[in-house]
Amino acid sequence: MKDISCKLLVIGAGPGGYVCAIRAGQLGIDTVIVDAGKPGGTCLNVGCIPSKALIHAAEEYDRIVHLSNGRNSLGIRATKPELDLAQTIAWKDGIVGRLNSGVSGLLKKAKVKIVQGHARFRDGKTIEVETETGRQIVRAETVVIATGSAPVALPNLPFGGAVISSTEALALTSVPERLVVVGGGYIGLELGTAFAKMGAKVTVVEAQGRILPQYDAELTRPVSKRLQALGIDVMTGAKAKGLAKAGSTLLVEAEDGSETSLTADRVLVTVGRRPVTQGWGLDELVLDMDGPFIRIDERCRTSMRGIYAIGDVTGEPMLAHRAMGQGEMVAEIIAGHKRVWDKRSIPAVCFTDPEIVTVGLSPEDARRTGIEITIGQFPFSANGRAMTKMGEDGFVRVVARLDNHLVLGIQAVGHGVSELAAAFGLAVEMGARLEDIAGTIHAHPTQGEAFQEAALKALGQELHI
Ligand code: FAD
């Protein structure tokens, strides 16, 4: 197989890598992208898109179950629905397949050469790829590492048999009767909630004192309430010790040191994700690291000249849109543009029920910086649109500087608030003041009005509360 030489080599075609390659191609850079799997990486194949498809299907099913139980006040009577999870998974796979083709098409349109296979560094500028037809050598002037992350396994609960990661959970073709989720972070709760809505008896085992510990308790309260309403048991301060010999009994050490046995058809382990930095020659390059992650500067440069790293492999926040933002920026830097990374306005969305959105600083973060702040919070129980959607739990909160009203952060929890993430991000990115949000006429009736009302409240000018 003839060696390939190129200006830019991108290793990994997840959201970070493929966006970087597309932009580089558009900018006229001779680019090669290598991936061992299908284009789109974790996000498209076993992450963001499949999980949101499953969540949507579970919500639809749960809604009809609710309407069929005769106790709803909407005046709609439905008959009990049936769920064919194998069909749901086939539908999800169809969406993933369409998007895989879409990403490949975009790469080709940008004249990026795609090499499929597992890459291994020979030296900092040369890799060899195990392709289906043989070994391919690729040499490049510049390399972008975008190899992403993989699920973390617990030593006492290795993956296999009944013990699954999010990847296998997103391919199950029947709903487990009893599902134990180990890890109460966003992936575990999103999937645990979906399976509970589809009829599984779900227990969440979380080692820390509460679920979603990265958010303040006020933001997670509506989520905890909903988990309870769905019949999901949440054990906090509890540690999964391993499977009992029988195979389907999970031993759990409770907060008080006592041991409990949970019967489980499946144990879904979602205790975090580790960067893919081992086993492909990267460790031999001796790049500077930040713990397990590749250390980068504000231009995503590693400690080795001509080698950049982007996305999950570089640490938190491990989010697809952050990887994409870095990918686009790095391509432009390689093309000679002046860009630096500004992480102030990266939104984070947790697709639980209800959803959580955060952008910028929380009240606690802001206080820690010593800045005097003003906070405005508006509940969805006072928002007409939320009432008509039967989604009154939750609120929008705006955090701003007291002196000049610069918006520092925005948080929301509520039904469908993920769609407000764009407005929140824009406000923080553009350096909005409370007056900008308060003075923007928001369409009525929408949940976005709660954003305007929260800003009005922070100014002491609230109208609807
Ligand atoms: P990845 O998407 O992990 O892609 C890395 C690619 O590199 C892979 O395709 C892999 O095959 C390839 N690769 C690795 N090593 C090699 C090698 N040696 N040779 C060749 N190829 C290699 N994020 C969000 O923003 N929103 C969400 O709603 C969301 N939901 C999620 C749900 C789940 C269940 C999971 C698991 C993750 C979710 N994420 C979500 C996180 C998101 O998927 C990641 O942040 C994102 O995919 C990171 O992108 P990346 O480009 O850094 O790497």
Name the residue of 43, 129, 284 whose CB sits within 8 Å of the most ligand 1 atoms, as the mutation to test its pocket. 43
**% the chain with pLDDT above 70:** 100
Per-residue pLDDT of 410-437, as tens digits, reads 999 999 999 999 999 999 999 999 999 9
pLDDT bucket at 122, cuts 50 / 70 / 90 = very high
Per-residue model confidence (pLDDT) at position 179: 98
What is the torsion angle, in degrees rounded to the nearest 10, for the CA atoms of residue 143, residue 147, residue 148 and residue 154?
-140
Cβ 449 vs Cβ 385: under 8 Å: yes
DSSP E strands, 12-55: 31-35
Q: Provide CB contacts within 8 A for 71, sequence distance 6+.
A: none
- Going from the Cα of 322 to the center of ligand 1, the distance in angstroms, rounded, reads 11
Q: How far is CA 209 from CA 21, 234, 237, 238, 348, in A?
A: 42, 11, 5, 8, 22
Structure confidence at residue 342 as a pLDDT band (50, 70, 90)? confident
* CA 259 to the chain's CA centroid: 32
Average pLDDT, integer, range 119-135: 96
> 343 falls in which pLDDT band (50, 70, 90)?
confident
pLDDT digits (tens, 9 = 90+) for 10-64: 999 999 999 999 999 999 999 999 999 999 999 999 999 999 999 999 999 999 9
Longest dimension (CA), the chain: 71
For ligand 1, atom 53, which residue shows the shortest CA distance?
148
Ligand 1 centre to CA of 313 (Å) is 9
**Mean pLDDT, rounded, for 191-208:** 98
pLDDT tens-digit map of 60-90: 999 999 999 877 889 999 999 999 999 999 9
Probe residue for ligand 1, chosen from 20, 147, 164 as the CB with the greatest number of ligand atoms within 8 Å: 147
Name residue, tokens 């030296």.
123
pLDDT of 8 above 90: yes
- Rounded to the nearest whole angstrom, what is the distance from the C-alpha of residue 150 to the centroid of ligand 1? 8
Q: How far, in Å, CA of 216 to CA of 95, rounded?
A: 35
227-256 confidence digits (pLDDT tens):
999 999 999 999 999 998 777 899 999 888
In angstroms, rounded to a whole number, what is the distance separating the alpha carbons of residues 200 and 193?
A: 9
Q: Which residue has the tokens 């306005």?
A: 345
Note the pLDDT of residue 344.
86
Are the C-beta atoms of residues 246 and 264 closer than 8 Å to each other? Answer: no
Question: What ipTM is given for this predicted complex?
Answer: 0.99
What is the full DSSP assignment across 422-443? HHHHHHHHTT-BHHHHHTSPPP
Token pair recorded at residue 282: 């990267």
pLDDT for position 71:
73
For residue 85, how many C-alpha atoms fall within 13 Å in the half-sphere facing its CB?
17
- Ligand 1 atom nearest the C-alpha of 151 is 36
Per-residue confidence band for 202, with pLDDT thresholds at 50, 70 and 90: very high
Query: Of 440, 442, 414, 437, whose CA–CA distance to 425 is shortest?
Result: 437
Whether the predicted pLDDT of 393 surpasses 90: yes
Q: Which residues line ligand 1 (CB under 6 A)?
A: 11-17, 34-37, 41-43, 47-48, 51, 118-119, 146-149, 166, 187, 276, 280, 311-312, 318-321, 323, 351
Could you tell me the pTM of the whole model?
0.97
Share of the chain above pLDDT 90, in %: 95
C-alpha–C-alpha distance, residues 410 and 452, integer Å? 12
Average pLDDT over residues 88-113: 98
Helices then strands, counting H and E runs in the chain, come out as: 13, 24
Out of 241-250, 309-318, 440-449, least confident range: 241-250
pLDDT at 72: 82
Tokens of 95: 């969406």
The per-residue DSSP string of 49-101 comes to HHHHHHHHHHHHHHHHHHHHTS--SSS---PPP---HHHHHHHHHHHHHHHHH
DSSP state of 184: -
Q: How far is the CA of 321 from the centre of ligand 1 (A)?
A: 11
**Residues with catalytic roles:** 444
Tell me what the mean pLDDT of segment 211-233 comes to: 97
